[in-house]
Amino acid sequence: MNFKPLSNHVFIEPVDEEKMTKSGIVIPDTADKEKPIRGKVLAIGPGKVKDNGERMPMSVAPGDMVLFKKYGPDEIEIEGKKYLVGDEDDILAIIG
């Protein structure tokens, strides 16, 4: 799949984290239906255009693992697979 986001939009592939208690019990995905807050950047837009016409460079790049706001990006489904799309401002940090 080839994405080409516009402006400062970012396509993210959510990464489901396995949750485990301190005693080693794995909590299944069905127990917690909240959106993941971690994902891999698949594609980025060219950046937001400032009032003076200059384009602001993006802070993230495809392939970056990121933390993002839980309810910031919108969930979309393409060919049966779920993705998130949001603004660069929805991203809180790059995991390195």
Report yes or no on 30 lying in a domain: no
Say which CATH number the domain at 41 has.
Answer: 2.30.33.40
Report yes or no on 6 lying in a domain: yes
Report yes or no on 22 lying in a domain: no
Report yes or no on 29 lying in a domain: no
Query: Which residues form the domain of 7?
Result: 1-13+35-96
Residue 75 has pLDDT above 60, yes or no: yes
What's the number of domains the chain is made of? 1
Instruction: Output the pTM of the full model.
Output: 0.78
Residue 21, pLDDT score: 62
**72 vs 58: which has the higher pLDDT:** 58
Residue 17, pLDDT score: 64
DSSP category for residue 72: S
Q: At which residue do the structure tokens 């994902």 appear? A: 39
Report yes or no on 18 lying in a domain: no
Report yes or no on 27 lying in a domain: no
70: confidence class by pLDDT, cuts 50, 70, 90: confident
Report yes or no on 83 lying in a domain: yes
Question: What value does the mean pLDDT of the chain take?
Answer: 85
Residue 41 has pLDDT above 80, yes or no: yes
User: Residue 27 is inside which H or E element, if any?
Assistant: strand 26-27
- Which tokens is 8 given? 């400062």
What's the whole-number mean pLDDT along residues 58-72? 93
Report yes or no on 21 lying in a domain: no
